[in-house]
């Protein structure tokens, strides 16, 4: 018995090597030798009977035909600078909340959370007026947020409320 204890530390690694060598022989039957004989996904893709298209992606040097998309419509508006709201975003760990009510009675609120912008910035909300357009639905109002191109690094909150008469 003392002789077998001397070799106990080798038994577990030897069993592991034996087990892994058995699993190695159970490899995927698709080897490089027989992969040419089995069809690839592209070759076995179903063909659309109407167009003959297999749905495969392909690259081409030809320019694609432009899509004829419907025009989404157009909107025109003016800005009501007399009702604008402005505030300094300091990026010092405090939120900035701006609130403005447009000439139609809609109250617009913008909340910029702490550290949502990388630099201090003067933020302006300008209500829109004289809205008209040929888009589906109705146009209630809107605001312009300045400066243009602001990039927020945290989600900001905004909402629009109409007071009941």
How big is the CA angle at 123 (ends 118 and 129), to the nearest 5 degrees? 145
- Surface-to-core class of residue 129, CB atoms within 10 Å of its CB (0-12 exposed, 13-18 middle, 19+ buried): middle
Domains: count for the chain: 1
| 48 found inside a domain | no
133, 139 contact by CB (below 8 A): yes
Whether 153 is in a domain gets the answer yes
The pLDDT profile of the chain, 165 residues, written as one tens digit per residue, is: 455 566 666 677 667 776 666 655 555 555 545 444 444 444 555 566 666 666 677 777 787 788 787 777 888 999 999 999 999 999 899 999 999 999 889 999 999 999 999 999 999 999 999 988 888 777 788 999 999 999 989 888 888 887 665
Confirm whether 44 is domain-assigned. Answer: no
- Alpha-carbon distance 124 to 87, whole Å? 7
**In the chain, which ranges are E strands?**
75-79, 85-89, 96-101, 106-112, 121-133, 143-146, 157-162
Let me know if residue 1 belongs to a domain.
no
Q: Would you say the C-alpha torsion 129, 134, 138, 142 has a positive or negative sign? A: negative
Is 84 among the domain residues?
yes
Q: Return contacts of 65-72, CB within 8 angstroms, 24+ apart.
A: 72/135
Q: Report if residue 155 sits inside a domain.
A: yes
Q: Is the pTM of this model over 0.85?
A: no
Query: What domain range includes position 96?
Result: 77-162
| Encoded tokens for 45 | 């893709």
């Amino acid at each position: 018995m003392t002789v077998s204890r001397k070799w106990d530390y080798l038994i577990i690694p030897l069993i592991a090597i034996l087990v892994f060598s058995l699993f190695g022989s159970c490899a995927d039957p698709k080897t490089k030798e027989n992969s040419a004989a089995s069809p690839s996904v592209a070759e076995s893709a179903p063909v659309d009977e109407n167009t003959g298209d297999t749905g495969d992606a392909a690259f081409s040097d030809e320019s694609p035909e432009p899509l004829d998309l419907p025009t989404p419509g157009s909107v025109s508006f003016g800005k009501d600078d007399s009702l604008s709201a402005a505030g300094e975003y300091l990026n010092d760990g405090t939120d900035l909340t701006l609130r403005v009510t447009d000439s139609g009675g809609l109250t617009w609120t913008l909340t910029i959370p702490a550290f949502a912008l990388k630099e201090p910035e003067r933020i302006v909300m300008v209500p829109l007026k004289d809205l008209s357009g040929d888009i589906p639905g109705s146009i209630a109002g809107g605001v312009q947020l300045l400066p243009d191109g602001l990039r927020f690094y945290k989600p900001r909150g905004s909402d629009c409320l109409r007071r009941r008469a």
